[in-house]
Structure 1
Amino acid sequence: MRHEHFIKQHMLNIRAGIKVDPSVPTETTYHKPTVPPRYTPVLPSRGNRKPSVKSPFNWRGSQPSLDGDRTMHFESSIELKAGRIFRADRNFVELREQWPTVKYQGADGEIHKHTFDFWLRLKCGKRKLVAAKPTDIVVSSGLLEILRRIHRGGIAGYADTISLVTEAFANAAANANAEWILLSRRNRNEDEYRAALEFVTGMSGPMRFWDMLTVTPLIAYRRTAIWNLIDEGVLKPVEPGRITDASLLVKASQ
C-alpha cells in the first residue's frame, strides 16, 4: 500500500470507529485451508489467439482459468477485471477466453472475422459471447455494428446471446470484491466457516463487517470465513459497491 493510501485508510478507519492494531505481531499468521492447495503443470490456453506480450497502450498478461488448470490471456485491464469477476461468480460454470472466432459479412460485402474476448456457460445451460472493450473504443471501432452483424448472421453454433462489457461492469469495486472472493475460496477452512455461519445465524438486521471480525481471536481467519459466506450468498452487502470493513452486511434472506 502506498504511503498516502495508508494514511487515507487510517483516517477512514478512525472516522468509522474501526480500531486497527498497528503493532507488528510476534508470530506470522498463515492461511490454513481445509483442502491443501495443489500445484500441477499449467495447461495452455484454449483461446484462438494469444495477444502480444507487450503493448504501449493496453495491459498484457494472463490469469488462471475458471477451473485453475489453464492459463487465460488478456490484453486490457477490462479483460483482466472481467475475467476475474466471471471467475468469482458462481452462476458461471465454464469460461473460455479469446474464443470463438466468428465470420460475418461486413458493410463492404466482404467476409470478416471477429474473435470474442470471452465465452461463458451458465448453470442453466445458456451460453454467452462477450466482447470486453472500453466505452470510447466501442464507439470508435464500430464494435456495436460488428456485433449486430454477427447476431443477424446467427450464433446458434456457439451461444445463445451476445453481451458487451465495459468499465461500467469491470470496475475497481467489482474487481476488488472478486479478488477477495477468489482468495477466500482458495483458503477456505471448514471449522472457521461453520463458526462464522453459526455467528451470523442469529443476526436479525444489518451488521458491520468489522464487528463480525472482532469477536474472534484471529481476525484473518474470520475475515476469510465471512467472505466465504458472501461467496455462497449467505451474506450480502446492504449497498452495492466495494465491500470494506465499514460495509453493512445482512443475511441474504432478509
Structure 2
Amino acid sequence: MRHEHFIKQHMLNIRNGIKVSFTVPTETTYHKPTVPPRYTPVLQSRGNRKPSVKSPFNWRGAQPSLDGERVMHFESSIELKAGRILRADRNVVELREQWPTVKYLGADGKMHKHTFDFWLRLKCGKRISVAAKPKDIVVSSGLLDILRRIYRMGVADYADSISLVTEAFANAAANANAEWILLSRRNRNEEEYQAAREFVAGMSGPMRFWDMLIVTPLVAYRRTAIWNLIDEGVLQPVEAGRITDASLLVKGN
C-alpha cells in the first residue's frame, strides 16, 4: 500500500470508529484451510493464441483458470480484472480465454478472423462469447462493427450470445471484491465458517463488516469466513461497490 493510501485508510478508519491494532503479534497467524491446497503441474492454456510477453501499451501476463489447473493469458488490465470477476462468479461453470476464433465478412468484402477474449458457460447452460476493450476505443477500434458482423453471420455453433466488457464491468471495486472471494475460497475453514454462519443467523437488520470481526479472537479467520458467506450469498452488501470493513451487510435473499 502506498504511503498516502495508508494515511487515507487510517483516517477513514478513525472516522468510522474502526480501531485497528498495530501491535506486532508474538506469533505468526497462518491460514488453516480445511482442504489442504494441492500443487500440481500447471497445464497450458486452452486459448487459440498467446499474447506477446511484453507491450509498451497494455498489461501482459497470466492468471489461474477457473478450475485452477491451467493458465489464462491476458493482454490488458480489463482482461485481467474481467477474468478474476468471472472466476469469482458462481454462475460461471466454464471459462476459456482467447477462444473461439471465428471468421466474418468485413466491410471490404473479404473474410477476416476475430478471436474473442473470453468464452464462458453459465449454470443454466447459456454460452457467451465475450470481447474486452476499453470504452474509449470500442468504436474507434472497429470492434462494434466486427461484433455486429459476426452476430449477423450466426454464432449458434459456439455461443448463444455475444457480450462486450469494458471497465464499467471490470472496475477496481468489482476486482477487489473478486480477489477477496477467490482468496477466501482457497483458505476456507469449515469450523470457522459454521461459527460465522451461526453468528449471523440472528441478524435482523444491517450489520457492519468490522463489527462481525471484533467478536472473535482471530480477526483474519473470521474475515475469511465472512467472505465465504458473501461468496455464497448468505450475506450481501447494502450498497453496490467495494466491500470494506465499513460496509453494511444484510442477509441474502
| Length-normalised TM-score, structure 2 | 1.00
Q: Give the letter aligned to residue 176 of structure 1.
A: A
Q: Give the letter aligned to residue 43 of structure 2.
A: L
Query: 1:209 — aligned with what?
Result: 209
* Equivalenced residues, count: 253
Q: Deviations along 1:26-53, whole A, 9 cap, x unmatched?
A: 1100000000000000000000000000
Q: List, as ranges, runs of 4+ consecutive aligned residues in structure 1 with deviation greater than 2 Å.
A: none
Q: Shift in Å at residue 23 of structure 1?
A: 1.1
Q: Shift in Å at residue 139 of structure 1?
A: 1.4
Query: 2:88 — aligned with what?
Result: 88
CA distance in 2, matches of 1:51, 1:150: 22
CA distance in 2, matches of 1:106, 1:113: 9
**SS of match in other structure, 1:139:** coil
Q: Give the letter aligned to residue 47 of structure 2.
A: G
Query: 2:43 — aligned with what?
Result: 43
Aligned ranges 1:98-113 → 2 under 5 Å? 98-113=98-113
Q: Deviations along 1:88-137, whole A, 9 cap, x unmatched?
A: 00000000000000000001110000000000000000000000000112
Q: Give the letter aligned to residue 244 of structure 2.
A: T
CA distance in 1, matches of 2:104, 2:7: 53
**SS of match in other structure, 2:236:** strand
Query: 1:169 — aligned with what?
Result: 169
Query: 1:25 — aligned with what?
Result: 25
CA distance in 2, matches of 1:107, 1:56: 30
CA distance in 1, matches of 2:3, 2:112: 50
Query: 2:246 — aligned with what?
Result: 246
Query: 1:231 — aligned with what?
Result: 231
Is 1:97 equivalent to 2:97 in the alignment? Answer: yes
Aligned ranges 1:96-245 → 2 under 5 Å? 96-245=96-245
CA distance in 2, matches of 1:120, 1:13: 39
Q: Shift in Å at residue 3 of structure 1?
A: 1.2
Q: Which segments of 5 or more consecutive residues in structure 1 lack a partner in the other structure? A: none
Percent identity of the aligned residues? 87
Q: Shift in Å at residue 2 of structure 1?
A: 1.3
CA distance in 2, matches of 1:252, 1:237: 9
Q: Give the letter aligned to residue 40 of structure 1.
A: T
Q: Shift in Å at residue 54 of structure 1?
A: 0.1
CA distance in 1, matches of 2:137, 2:99: 20
Q: Deviations along 1:66-100, whole A, 9 cap, x unmatched?
A: 00000000000000000000000000000000000
**SS of match in other structure, 1:140:** coil
CA distance in 2, matches of 1:136, 1:205: 41
Query: 2:52 — aligned with what?
Result: 52
CA distance in 2, matches of 1:24, 1:174: 31
Q: Give the letter aligned to residue 52 of structure 2.
A: S
Q: Shift in Å at residue 213 of structure 1?
A: 0.1
CA distance in 2, matches of 1:48, 1:242: 34
Q: Give the letter aligned to residue 143 of structure 1.
A: L
Q: Give the letter aligned to residue 115 of structure 1.
A: T
CA distance in 2, matches of 1:249, 1:108: 54
